[in-house]
Chains A and B, each alone.
Chain A
Amino acid sequence: MRPNDRKYTKTHEWVKLSGEEVLIGITDFAVQELCSGNEGDLVYCDLPEAGRSLEAGETFGEIESVKAVADLNAPVAGTVVEANIAIEEHLEILSKDPWNQGWLIRVQPRSRSLDAPELMDAAAYEAMISAEKH
């Protein structure tokens, strides 16, 4: 079971409340899809500068594995407070710990509610990826 202290998007990002801010990252499923367990296959990650304003669903960054570039999409609207620059140098963190150390950006959200209908809880997210596999 994936952590139920956060919400998930259909494009495999997660968002978690952290004080007055939110943390945003990508799921283990997204990492597995990109690199099939070979953590060295993740090669680049571009994250936004602090201060950038994001709309929900907007692309805030990009990640490249040896065979694909994928967009990173904002689950909620807000302003970027900080990007986890350690990730850009150490992409293996995303394979080892996508839920905690692997956060990508810290955002001051426009609203602290994570109740938007397009955001899924862990059970709904797992049901979605289980359906994708079959």
Chain B
Amino acid sequence: MALDEVLLASADARPTLRFYSWKPHALSLGYFQRWAELAPRAAGSAVVRRFSGGGAIHHADELTFSIAAPLAHPLYRGEVARSYERVHALLAAAFAELGVHAELRGARALASERAGTGMCFHESTPLDLVWDERKGVGSAQRRKGERVLHHGSIKLGRTALEEGVAALRDHVPGIDAATLAHAIARAFERGARCRFERLDPDDAERSAASERAPFYSSTEFVRRR
């Protein structure tokens, strides 16, 4: 979370696509969610709060990605809704390469809807990507000044906290986070006509992120609402 904040604040005009997994597994709350509503589900889990909005995500058997970009970038220019359509089209191309047919939810009702859990994957909007009539990608954005941070989560398998949601292993047995990340990067390069440069955070970014990291799991921030 802290490194994503550093990337959001970056002055670099080049967008960053970052992939990560969580150790230990953790529950992340949306920026505006109420702690009291999620506390019963958080028992026994590491908990952080995100800078982005939306519902809670259980980061266990999944791949998390973040995109940090200027709002003037062609992926993000204009309405928030259009940016989701563009990013989700690129993700759908990656899933297609893996043999999974994903599409925008549109007006249909999903089998993954669960009222009142506070979990991102149990609620949906027409712009969410779905397969098997279930929500397949959890996503949220933070817009700050002239930059955007886009968070996404894709389930490889399901956990008890996210029962009923779409999982890639239903169609691609044995797929792991690294294979999925490569497929997404390739789909972005083809669809957004870009070429990624593989980079690790530099010393200044690492140092800023380590200084900031404790804040995201602090009682002050996790229980801010």
Where the two chains meet, the residues of A that have a C-beta atom closer than 8 Å to any C-beta of B are 10-11, 32-36, 43-44, 46, 59, 62, 64-71, 73, 132-133
Which residues of B from 135 to 166 have beta carbons under 8 Å from A? 139-146, 148
Q: Which chain B residues lie closer than 8 Å to A46 at the CB level? A: 32
Query: Which of B51, B52, B81, B148 is A36 in contact with, Cβ under 8 Å?
Result: B81
Query: Which of A11, A43, A66 is B145 in contact with, Cβ under 8 Å?
Result: A11
Bound Cα distance from A17 to B54, whole angstroms: 35
Query: Which of A11, A36, A59 is B80 in contact with, Cβ under 8 Å?
Result: A36
Bound Cα distance from A83 to B67, whole angstroms: 33
Number of chain B residues whose Cβ lies closer than 8 Å to a Cβ of chain A? 25
Kindly state whether residue B84 has any CB partner on chain A within 8 Å. yes
Bound Cα distance from A10 to B82, whole angstroms: 20
Q: Which chain B residues lie closer than 8 Å to A62 at the CB level? A: 31-32
Secondary structure class of chain B's binding surface, majority of residues: loop
Q: Which chain A residues lie closer than 8 Å to B190 at the CB level? A: none
**Stretch in contact with the other chain, from B71-79, B97-105, B106-114, B169-177:** B71-79
| Contact, CB under 8 Å: A71 / B32 | no
Bound Cα distance from A62 to B30, whole angstroms: 13
Sample 12 A-B pairs with CB under 8 A, ordered by A number.
A11-B146, A44-B53, A59-B144, A64-B32, A65-B80, A66-B53, A67-B53, A67-B84, A68-B53, A68-B142, A69-B52, A70-B143
Kindly state whether residue B219 has any CB partner on chain A within 8 Å. no
Query: Which of B52, B54, B79, B142 is A33 in contact with, Cβ under 8 Å?
Result: B79
Q: Which 4 A-B pairs have the closest CB atoms?
A: A68-B141, A69-B53, A70-B143, A36-B81
Kindly state whether residue B125 has any CB partner on chain A within 8 Å. yes
| Contact, CB under 8 Å: B53 / A33 | no
Chain A nearest Cβ from B4, distance in angstroms: 13
Q: Which chain A residues lie closer than 8 Å to B31 at the CB level? A: 62, 64, 69
Q: Which chain B residues lie closer than 8 Å to A67 at the CB level? A: 53-54, 80-81, 84, 125, 127, 139-141
Q: Which chain A residues lie closer than 8 Å to B84 at the CB level? A: 67
Q: Which chain B residues lie closer than 8 Å to A33 at the CB level? A: 78-80
Chain A nearest Cβ from B28, distance in angstroms: 14
* Most interface-central of A59, A66, A133 (chain B CB within 10 A): A66
Q: Which chain B residues lie closer than 8 Å to A69 at the CB level? A: 31-32, 51-53, 140-143
